[in-house]
Amino acid sequence: MALDVGVLGYRFMGKAHANAMARLPMFFPDAPEVHRDILVGRDEEALSEAADRLGFARTTTDWEEAIEEVDVFYNLGPNFVHAEPSIAALEAGVPVFCEKPLAPTLSEAEEMTEASREADVPAGCAFNYRFVPAIRYARNLIESGELGEIHHVRGRYLQDWLVDPEAPWAWRLDEEMAGSGALGDLGAHTIDLTRYLVGEISAVSGHLKTFVDERPVEDGEETREVTVDDAYTAQAEFENGAVGSFEASRFANGHKNDHTIEIEGSKGSLKFSLERLNELEYLEEGSRGFETILVTDADDPYVDHWWPPGHVLGWEHTFVHENYEFLSAVEEGGEFEPSFEDGLSAQHVIDAIQTSDERGEWIDVE
């Protein structure tokens, strides 16, 4: 029997997840059968067009109606609509998959996570980069002790879509809607990946910067204030004794979607770049230099579902892997990671970086 799925949001992330659901039966034959049932949005005309294009059977402008009629609820809307629908779905016993960051504020993320604890159904947070085969390969190396004791962790996420001061204002530039700027939008991914690979972060020192204070409203002559950060930098202390440095920017000219992770240990090191997501650079103990591993062999994580060795995967495949794991957990009544607990952990780090920027001092991560 198919799982009836309701999805709030039909733009960037809605398209990514609808595509993933459509690919599942072709490449993951043991995946649950999925019925793209209800698409939720505010604009009826745009919603109808999107439903036809993304393969949904029907639409509604009322997310409460959708929750009552589906087996699974995906909350892919802007950050400020994450909490209420997600909590309502969980209280109704409906599994929830929510975009990151989990919420605009720490208090809302705590409320969402508490609801997930009480619901006893899968509640996933959308950190899709955990599902890159090279990242899974890297985690296996670290867990097997190939890097030894971890000393250094570096993460950066660079984009350039706001370099032009005339680029139009968007909801991501409003604190009430987004919570934070580059920190929550991009930094959340870095924080989650380093937690996944290395372990918990215990303390941070952070700095936030806004380069353009107001931007023109699209198709209008007015401007609106930018109330979030355009870039952030942070130092971090990990519970295992490693030190870290993070940064993200929407002003990094020449970088479109450059997410990199570097980890150095007592026995070896590794480097990963999202712009070369099929590759992992690995320095093995005793070696004089890094080797580049093409993570596309059939025995590499997830790769046996796709193409012959050497035929690379892309960004969209991370969503297929993510949906496979989440929907399988729903069907089997199992657990899924990254969970709301993981989303909350990242939110604690985000909040500590914001507090550090305000106070000008190191902040312990609660």
Residue 349 lies in a domain: yes
Residue 13 belongs to what H/E stretch? Answer: helix 12-27
Inform me whether the pLDDT recorded for 84 exceeds 80: yes
Which residues are 247's β-sheet partners? 156, 233
234 and 351 assigned to the same domain: yes
Q: Domain with 95 in it: what CATH number?
A: 3.40.50.720
pLDDT digits (tens, 9 = 90+) for 91-101: 999 999 999 99
Residue range 139-145: mean pLDDT, rounded: 98
Residue range 238-246: mean pLDDT, rounded: 98
113 and 140 assigned to the same domain: no
pLDDT value of position 332: 96
For residue 274, what are the domain limits? 130-314+323-359
Inform me whether the pLDDT recorded for 218 exceeds 90: no
111 and 71 assigned to the same domain: yes
Amino acid at 143: E
Inform me whether the pLDDT recorded for 321 exceeds 90: yes
Choosing from 128, 150, 170, the residue where a domain stops is 128
pTM: 0.96
101 and 120 assigned to the same domain: yes
pLDDT value of position 40: 98
159 and 121 assigned to the same domain: no
67 and 153 assigned to the same domain: no
Residue range 226-246: mean pLDDT, rounded: 98
247 and 270 assigned to the same domain: yes
79 and 204 assigned to the same domain: no
Helix axes of 83-91 and 106-119: crossing angle, nearest 10 degrees: 10
Q: Domain with 156 in it: what CATH number?
A: 3.30.360.10
Number of domains in the chain: 2
Instruction: Tell me 339's DSSP state.
Output: B
75 and 180 assigned to the same domain: no
- pLDDT level of residue 325 (50, 70, 90 thresholds): very high
Report helix, strand or coil for 136: helix
Choosing from 93, 128, 163, the residue where a domain stops is 128
Residue 365 lies in a domain: no
Inform me whether the pLDDT recorded for 220 exceeds 90: no
88 and 134 assigned to the same domain: no
Amino acid at 255: H
50 and 118 assigned to the same domain: yes
Q: What percent of the chain has pLDDT over 70?
A: 100
Residue 364 lies in a domain: no
CA 321 → CA 26, 142, 193, 288, 339, distances in Å? 13, 21, 16, 35, 15
Token digits of residue 32: 């649950």
